[in-house]
Amino acid sequence: MLRLEKRPSPSQAWNYATPVLAVALTMVAGGLLFLALGKNPFEAIRLIFWDPLFSEQFGAYSRPQLLIKAGPLILIAVGLSIGFRAGIWNIGAEGQYIIGAMCAAAMALAFYPTESVLVFPLMIAAGAFGGWAWAMIPAILKTRFNTNEILVSLLLVYVAEKLLAAAATGFMRNPQGAGFPGSRNINAYGSASNMELIANTGLHWGGVAAFIAVIFAYVLLQRHILGFHVRLAGQAPRAAKFAGVAPTRLVVMCLGLSGAFAGMAGMFEVSGPARLISIDFNAGYGFTAIIVAFLGRLHPVGILLAGFLLALTYIGGELAQFMLGIPGAAIQVFQGMLLFFLLALDILSNYRVRLALPAQKGEAR
Amino acid sequence: MDLSAINPVVLIASLMVAATPILLAGMGELVVEKSGVLNLGVEGMMIVGAVSGFAVAATTGNPYLGMLASIAAGAALAAIFALLTQVLMANQVASGLALTLFGLGFSALVGQSYVGIVPPRTEKLTFGPLTDLPVLGRILFNQDILVYASIALVVAVWYWLRATRSGRVLRAVGENHDSAHALGYKVRRVRVLAILFGGACAGLGGGYLSLIRVPQWTEGMTAGAGWIALALVVFASWRPWRLLGGAYLFGGIMVLQFNLQAAGLRIPVEYLAMSPYLITILVLVVMSSNRARSSLSAPGSLGRSFHAAG
């Protein structure tokens, strides 16, 4: 019989090894999935993980996409990871992302068609504010009324989606759009446009913000007392209480920060790649970012790498859809499996697996 | 707007139909949480149940086989959760989320070839002359089999938890797993069985959506029903009868909201469609605002993983 023995502290080596192992296992399981769908597994895996970067045929188009997709994922995941470390579960980043984008778009539309350098910074502020305000709903309900933040933040995603639909077909509709749903093209409005900064890299302001967020989170967690409180509250809630960590402030800080980051991600998206507010504006970045945060082991640098990997699965997934006719949903399954393997392998860093001999079985229980 | 188009008898009869998916899923989750496990994957198990039931029913032409498939699919997904949290000691919140993310993707993948198909009809039961009774006949004696089954489930779970030995063991495990372990109860086995039961119920709830309530398969069709079911358990303070009441209340809101849309209330559809989620949040706030009471009614070991020190 196998027996589990709790480690006094998580194993560092396994901490680094498990994400890699999880990705490898997901590739195997994903290959089996593609085989079940009647596709060549090796070709599919190569299309997803290799061709977007290195193929001569697709690379030129796909490589810039990597930064475009990774930017919002990293930005949102960094914000979420800080809360996850403290045991505060904001799983409604998708909603905060939508509201941030809507607030930023509203700011842009309010100034339209005035050209000014102030418009873009104001939009960033509006996006961050929108996401922050949407995240404050679960935060305040949690601190004032002890309401579960997981359920409230998630339910607010559905509310945000309905608001988005109302905006796209109603109060934000392009007055010159011949009645079609969708706002004005914000990307085409000079002062509000989130342009590619270096040609053919896919780097826009959202990517820059993601890198800044990674550095910010790293400094916060490693060098600042607040980061210490966050880690303390997650690992030893009782000790945190004695150390004078105010749980209320921590909840408001963590949810507010992750909301603001998600809102900003929405802002960069609506003014850049998405171009305008439309009914299907949100692409699930807020949920995929949860996987990114876990794959990166809630560590800023890890999240940076994980963000690129999941961005790759998005792009490679589209490629596989186009080339092999693999359904788009297969990539979602793929990402879900990745999280399964990751969580399953966590046991290796927290426990020692020992072989218990039958003679010892009695005392082993 | 024409309110006279809303017939109260039809409204009540259809609110029972609208409430059944969340009632089934909520009852399953109630048992899971009573055993001390928080499974946030209800939405994922529901949607996989919905697509599996639909696929089997559409292929075989028999809705009841579809329902069995829903049960099996929900339990199968729950088995992954049980493996992760009970054997591999993974975090319950994260594992539940993983279940939901995976379930949404998996169902979209499987369901692709079933979009736009009409499933075989599930006939409503009739009770001869009783069904012909003026008001009660339509409400009480002319529903499909799962509406009755869901109410029977409430009675059974209520009786089982309060009056049988195994039900009490389950509650003991949920209240304090260390004490239960010291008394010699198999904490892990009890929890695995509870998780499987919860998955089966959630799967059936999902199957009800795609086979009877809608009845059709569309991607992401559960639209938060699993999360509402989770909120319902908190609303019910972990008590079966309150869960029944809560589910019918929510069913009423959903049906009324649809009826108001149809009656042409001068509010954009999107705002009406928001109402079930907003009301769920409101109810959660009211139920959890009294700290002392809500912490008393929640199972003591809820969400904590158990590892027998060896």
What residues in chain B have per-residue pLDDT under 50? 310
Mind listing the pLDDT tens digit for each residue in A124-140? 999 999 999 999 999 99
Which ipTM did the prediction report? 0.87
Res A109: pLDDT: 86
pLDDT, mean of residues A207-218: 90
Residue A49 to residue A311: CA distance in whole angstroms: 10
Percent helix, strand, coil in chain B (nearest 5)? 75, 0, 25
pLDDT band at A362; cut points 50, 70, 90: very low
pLDDT, mean of residues A243-262: 89
**What are the DSSP calls for A35-70, one per residue?**
HHTTS-HHHHHHHHHTHHHH-TTTHHHHHHHHHHHH
The nearest CA of chain A is from the CA of B227 a distance in Å of 7
Mind listing the pLDDT tens digit for each residue in B107-164? 988 888 888 788 887 777 777 777 777 777 777 777 888 888 999 999 999 999 988 9
A177 has pLDDT over 80 = no
Query: Is A294 in Cβ contact with B94 (below 8 Å)?
Result: yes
- One of 1.10.3470, 1.10.10, 2.30.110, 1.20.140 is the CATH number of A67-322, namely 1.10.3470
Task: Report the 10 Å Cβ neighbour count for B82.
Answer: 25
Q: Which of residues 320-359 of A touch B (CB under 8 A)?
A: 327-337, 339-340, 343-344, 346-347, 350-351
- Is the CATH number of domain B3-118+130-297 2.60.120? no
**A4, closest residue in chain B (CA to CA):** B310
* Residue B56 in tokens: 């089997």
A284 touching chain B per CB within 8 A: no
pTM of the model: 0.89
If one compares B100 and A61, the residue with the highest pLDDT of the two is B100
Ranked by mean pLDDT, the top range of A192-206, A328-342, B7-21, B63-77 is: B63-77
pLDDT, mean of residues A104-109: 89
By Cβ distance, the residue of B268, B278, B308 closest to A159 is B278
If one compares A331 and B83, the residue with the highest pLDDT of the two is B83
Residue A126 to residue A106: CA distance in whole angstroms: 9
The nearest CA of chain B is from the CA of A12 a distance in Å of 17
The nearest CA of chain A is from the CA of B201 a distance in Å of 20
Res B140: pLDDT: 76
Query: Is A330 in Cβ contact with B284 (below 8 Å)?
Result: no
Query: Is A162 in Cβ contact with B270 (below 8 Å)?
Result: yes
pLDDT, mean of residues A284-290: 90
Closest-CA residue to B24 (of B70, B91, B85): B70
**Neighboring chain A residues of B90 at a CB cutoff of 8 Å:** 343-344, 346-347
A153 has pLDDT over 50 = yes
Task: Report the 10 Å Cβ neighbour count for B192.
Answer: 21
Residue A225 to residue A236: CA distance in whole angstroms: 16
**In chain A, what are the domain boundaries?**
67-322
**CB-defined contacts A:B, below 8 A:** 144
Residue A203 to residue A187: CA distance in whole angstroms: 15
**In chain B, what are the domain boundaries?**
3-118+130-297
Res A180: pLDDT: 77
Look over chain A and give the mean of its residue pLDDT values, rounded to a whole number.
85
The nearest CA of chain B is from the CA of A230 a distance in Å of 18
